Amino acid sequence: MSTVCDLKIDLVEVCEAAARACAPFVGSGQKDEGDGLAVDAMRERINQVNMKGVVVIGEGAKDEAPALYDDEPVGTGIGVGVDIAVDPIEGTNLFAKDMPGSIVTLAAAPAGSMYRPGSCFYMDKQVYPKAARGKIDPEAPVADRLGALAKALGKDIREIRVFILDKPRHQDLIRDVYACGAKVRLATDGDVNGAIQAVLNMGSDALFGIGGTPEGIVTACAARAMGAEMFGRMAPQKDFEIKLCEEEGIDTKRIITRDELVTSDDVMFIATGLTSGAYVHHVKVGTDADGRYMTTDTVVLSGSVGNIRRVQTTLHV
């Protein structure tokens, strides 16, 4: 019987195609132009994949950007049913400025297994590595959560590093982390990048704070694949979004667990680097006897056993 993880190579090629298409715009200051190219390339390649796919949550509504849209059917319509969460360029400002941490990212899980957040574009997230699974009270004060994390990792709290987006809404949170003696890794954008650092325990020990809901669903797939811990809570930021959430009956106080965000172990997270970061390298462009080529660097997290695969692909273009 076919599984979502059987589509690994095809879906890696989806992310690679998007990365190659938009790579010439890295550092150009033209994030929308790059995003549009990534979306077009991703859409073209994903519709060649033999699956009955649907974009459960995409990018665009929050940022008014080019997008693969919610409920858009993707794939050939033949094969396994697949929920897709996607961000053609995660960290568009990082992409435009050639700063570390911008990626093409996609997550996949069996049809009906991804959480549907409705009209809530933002989520308050907590992400921890596997060692902390089941050991964190998500509603406890920051000091208690970091104390439990430090104990789970066998570290002094002063060694703990938390990834937080450098936004005005997080100033109190940042002060709370500092008050515990822990460190903060700040970034202007790209909380999937920070979350995966926490999932892999590579560069950061946790992620806290409010970021995009699409990124939250993508992160939940990565966390489930690696046996890591995650909690989410819907966190509308603008008046129109708050009103939509009220109309849809979305509970903005309820903590949503990792296994509610994605209910299957047959999950996959894929990230292809656009700019270099903690776990993937940027797209490299060169010339040899056969002409111009691009080399992409991709990480694939699949299955609850924590299978990590690195894929480097060189293609003449």
Binding residues for substrate: 90-92, 122, 167-169, 189-191, 212
- Distance, in Å, from the CA atom of 135 to the CA atom of 236, rounded to the nearest integer, reads 28
Residue type at 235 in one-letter notation: A
Sign of CA dihedral 110, 115, 118, 122: negative
- Distance, in Å, from the CA atom of 124 to the CA atom of 104, rounded to the nearest integer, reads 22
Residue type at 234 in one-letter notation: M
For 109, the enclosing helix (H) or strand (E) is: strand 103-110
- Distance, in Å, from the CA atom of 176 to the CA atom of 206, rounded to the nearest integer, reads 14
- Pick out the residues of the known binding site: 35, 59, 87, 90-92, 122, 167-169, 189-191, 212, 215
Q: How far apart are the first and last CA of the chain?
A: 36
Q: Using the 8-state DSSP alphabet, how is residue 300 labeled?
A: E
DSSP-derived secondary structure for 199-251: HTTSS-SEEEEEEEHHHHHHHHHHHHHHT-EEEEEE---SHHHHHHHHHHT--
- Pick out the residues of the known binding site for Mn(2+): 35, 59, 87, 90, 215
